[in-house]
A and B are shown apart, each in its own frame.
Chain A
Amino acid sequence: MTDARTIRLDNRRWLHLVDRARAFLFGSRSRRGIVWSVALYALLIAIGFVYLYPLLFMFVTSIKSPADLLNPMVQWVPNEIYTGNYVKAFRVLNYPVSLANSIFASVAPSLLQTATASLIGYGLARYRFPGRRIIMLLILATFIIPPQNTVIPQMLTYRNLGLLGSPLALILPASFGQGLKSAIFILIFYQTFLSLPKVLEEAARLDGASDLRIFLSIAVPSALPAYIIAFIFSVVWYWNETFLMVVFLEGGVQTLPLQLSKFAQAYENLYPPGVVNIFDRLNEAVKMSGTFLNILPLLVLYFVLQKWFVESIERTGIAGE
């Protein structure tokens, strides 16, 4: 009798231990076990490495001196921090001017594109009119149509008007809602305004406010997060866009990505290969410095405005419909 009971007790104790061990390793309802944690972090680090590797590679290469570049022993830790590459890349990219151009060529269209997108987004969300669905379909169509199907006639028109090479060639379509990925911004605003309560607007209407006034003084302020998000994304996409820039700004304003895309050529104009000594020839360290200088403003923007990127779509609900 007693024997059987102790065995049963032992058994229970044993099972309890197993349970605890299992909870420690694999987790319980309330907390994650160690195995899961290790697996989770291992995967997270592996994936994080995928994204950080090119950046690290770019940065490390960019501070290598010519001697370090040739030295096969030097992989990840340069012997010295060599800033000469940045000095050269800075000159080759004509950095201050290109930076200012890039900022203007991405901020100006973005502002106007955001404004127009919010206008039509509001119209579609708040008013019912015949052809609403067709307009929605057309908006989706503008997202799908590849730029090269519409770009040539536009370029020829701008050439006739003497606008080729001027930022106006980018600003004009953007201000009419035909800019880069305008459709996405329209959908963001459509979703945002749909989700905002109508009560305030109706009260203002009863008080005799005009529709435009209601939009400007009630709808716009309450959709402010959507404006900020649309603007930030628009700036980033314009900044990174090269196809439209190459076509529309050809021979005129030079943005950073444009300068980067003809980096080798520009370098050899500044530092003719026959003239400069071998250490001043174009090498990957200088190229990487140029690339890094190119994305540096975006990185700064990203780290400063991180919160907005992270919260962006959670707030605006782009994932709907």
Chain B
Amino acid sequence: MNRHMSSFGRLSLRAREALHGYGFALPWLAGFALFTLLPLVETLRYSLNRVTVTVTGIRLEFVEWANYTRALFTDPSFVELLIGYAIETLIAVPIVLIFSMIIALFLNVNFKLKGVFRTIFFLPVVITSGPVIRELAEQGATSAPGIADVPAVADFLAQLPSALRNPLEYVLTSFILILWFSGVQILIYLASLQKIDRSIYEAAAIDGASAWEIYWKITLPSLATATMVNAVYTIITLSHFSENRVIKYIYNQTYAVQGGIGYASAMAFIYFMAMAALLAIVYLFLMLWARRGSR
């Protein structure tokens, strides 16, 4: 006991704590080095080489940035796919956020049959998988039923410049598909709503605040963190989704004679950068919005 009181003892206690901490983190750290960092560096190396797979292993031939310049300047489809991905993601994120927030607000009040609706609304958490979504999309079960086919709407769309038309068409044809990506986000909003202190609402109601004011002044600011988490989660889920066209393109190039592993690796890194840029844009936007809201 006395030993622990001395400054030497305290120091060793701290060292002991650190040591145990590292002990608990060790499996993950080893895994990170082996299964994430090493492959990441390796992929980066591939992206600067022409890679040929042989029977005995792989052969690398250093080509500097050739794979990158090819992806960005020569490949006719990659950049187009990338731009399409960026636009679609930037459209899908607000839809998912608003929609999941609305559902969470509903599920946070009491009404009859709440359990039934809750069960239905959480279905996407379980079902959103690549092949299932693809089958459903092929059968036309994911587009907002027929809106894009109404002649008036089709005429209207045809009038628009393609920069505006493509995103709009995307919204109309994939609206339901986008909604299928809101499962976890609903859960996160709901958890966040339930953490808000009831007494704040009561105090506001006593002061005569309307439901509308309460929503904008209390509820929405309290959901700022959850919104940030959800935005990041949505972008990452959409970007990692196996039916994502950029991912499919990169995957197909991996095995293509013309492409190969080197080229696919370069595209993977460009895609990663694009995704990081999207994350940064949305994050900054939400930060600014949250700060303005709190003022």
Q: Which residues of A contact B (CB under 8 A)?
A: 29, 32, 37, 40-41, 43-44, 47-48, 50-55, 57-58, 61, 116-117, 119-120, 122-124, 126-130, 132, 135, 138-139, 142-154, 156, 160, 172-173, 175-178, 186, 211-212, 215, 236, 239-243, 246, 257, 260-261, 284, 287-288, 290-291, 294-295, 298-299, 301-303, 306, 309-310, 312-314, 317-321
Contacts and interface: CB of A to CB of B under 8 A. Distances in A.
9 cross-chain pairs, A with B, having the tightest CB-CB distances, nearest first: A176-B31, A123-B24, A127-B21, A240-B129, A129-B18, A153-B42, A129-B21, A150-B39, A177-B28
A150 B36 contact: yes
Contacts of B27: 116, 119-120, 175-177
A54 B141 contact: yes
Given A128-B18, A306-B119, A291 B135 contact: yes
A198 to B, nearest CB: 13
Given A123-B20, A287-B135, 9 more contacts: A116-B31, A123-B24, A148-B251, A152-B264, A154-B39, A284-B139, A295-B126, A295-B129, A312-B187
A53 B141 contact: yes
A141 B9 CA distance: 37
A146 B275 contact: yes
A290 B125 CA distance: 20
14 contacts: A32-B111, A37-B111, A58-B136, A123-B21, A127-B18, A128-B17, A129-B17, A175-B27, A176-B32, A178-B32, A243-B242, A261-B130, A261-B134, A320-B225
Contacts of A32: 111
B29 A135 contact: yes
A152 B254 contact: yes
B106 A40 contact: yes
B18 to A, nearest CB: 4
B81 to A, nearest CB: 14
B131 interface: yes
Contact of A177 (B32, B192, B226): B32
Contacts of B272: 145-146, 149
A155 B179 CA distance: 33
A220 to B, nearest CB: 12
A146 B106 contact: no
Nearest to A320: B225
A321 B106 CA distance: 24
- Taking chain A's interface residues, is the majority helix, strand, or loop, or is none over half, making it mixed? helix
A242 B135 CA distance: 14
A105 to B, nearest CB: 13
Interface string B115-151: 0011111111111111110111001011001000000
Nearest to B124: A51
A57 B141 contact: yes
Given A291-B135, A319-B229, A44 B17 contact: no
A146 B130 contact: no
A17 B135 CA distance: 56
Given A54-B142, A287-B135, A288-B139, A127 B28 contact: no
A314 B194 contact: yes
A47 to B, nearest CB: 6
Contacts of A132: 21
A175 B102 CA distance: 38
Given A176-B30, A242-B130, A309 B122 contact: yes
Nearest to A299: B126
Contacts of A123: 20-25
Contacts of A172: 35
Contacts of A37: 111
A319 B195 contact: yes
B191 interface: yes
Contacts of B240: 146-147, 243
Interface string B261-283: 10011001101100110010000
B126 A47 contact: no
A246 B24 CA distance: 32
A55 B31 contact: no
B34 interface: yes
A303 B225 CA distance: 30
B58 interface: yes
Interface in B97-121: 102-103, 106, 111, 117-121
Contacts of A57: 136, 139, 141
A313 B188 CA distance: 7
